[in-house]
Each structure stands twice: as structure tokens, then as C-alpha cells.
Amino acid sequence: MAEKHRCSATVYGQGVIGGYLCSREGTVQADGKWWCHQHSPAAKATREAKWEASFDARRAERERQDRISDAERDYRDAAVAWAEHRLTDGALCADAKPWWDKDRALLNAFDASKAALDAAKKGGAQ
């Protein structure tokens, strides 16, 4: 009959000062000690890797949402700038080339901001 070992992990819980030894049987031997399925270094590494992956995924999603918010603001600003140009500059100099140059530039900026917003929503690079 195989000799039984106890898990070497110290468990820290709420209200416990200094922690206590894990009560489970040690089934995995690593680093010269016995560990239960939960406390083996391999299990710990797997847990940490999973946690890091989920942390990275949540951070990436937050950053994507930030980029979308920024792009939406730029899109609104561009639309407002173009509308203001048409409403306020229009009556004064609608025949002049500078008016049309400005109009074209604002429209281009508006189109570019829309493309940037679409890209942000798709999760692409900025």
C-alpha cells in the first residue's frame, strides 16, 4: 500500500493568522514536496496563466471601448465642424474657392473620422 502524504501548501483564509496546512492528500510531487491537485506548482501556474489571460482580455476590451469612445467623439466633432462651416460661413462666401477648399477639407475629415470609428469598432489598430 502506497504511503500517504499530506499537501505541503499553507492556506491563508479570512480570519486565519499565519495560515494553516492544506488538509488534502498530496498526490503530486514537485520541488521535493507533496502537493494536492490544487496546490501543485503546475496547477498554480495554470491558474495564474488563466488569470493573466482573462486580465489581458478584459484590459484589451476596455482599451477597445476607450478607442471607440474617442473615435465617436472625433466623429461628432468633425460632423459639427462641417455643419458649422456650412451654416455660418456659407452665406458670406459660398462662391469663393477658399470656402469650397475648407468645405472639402472638413468633409474629408468627417469621412476619415467615420472610417476611424468603424475601424475602432472592428477592434483594429488605431
Please report, as ranges, the residues that interact with Zn ion according to CB under 5 A.
7, 9, 22, 24, 36, 39
Residue 120 C-beta: closest distance to Zn ion, Å: 45
For Zn ion, which is the closer residue by CB, 22 or 81? 22
Q: Least distance from C-beta 124 to Zn ion, angstroms? A: 45
Residues 6+ apart with CB under 8 A from 115: none
Q: How distant, in Å, are the alpha carbons of 11, 12, 40, 58 from that of 17? A: 10, 8, 23, 33
Strand-pairing partners, residue 35, are: 28
Q: Cell 498526490: give the residue.
A: 27
Cα–Cα distance between 106 and 33 in angstroms, integer?
69
Looking up cell 456659407, which residue turns up?
90
State the minimum distance, in angstroms, from the CB of residue 17 to Zn ion.
19
**Residue 32 C-beta: closest distance to Zn ion, Å:** 16
Grid coordinates given for 64: 477597445
Q: In this complex, which beta carbon is closest to Zn ion, that of residue 24 or of residue 85?
A: 24
For residues 12 and 55, which CB has a smaller minimum distance to Zn ion in the complex? 12
Nearer to Zn ion, 44 or 85 (CB): 44
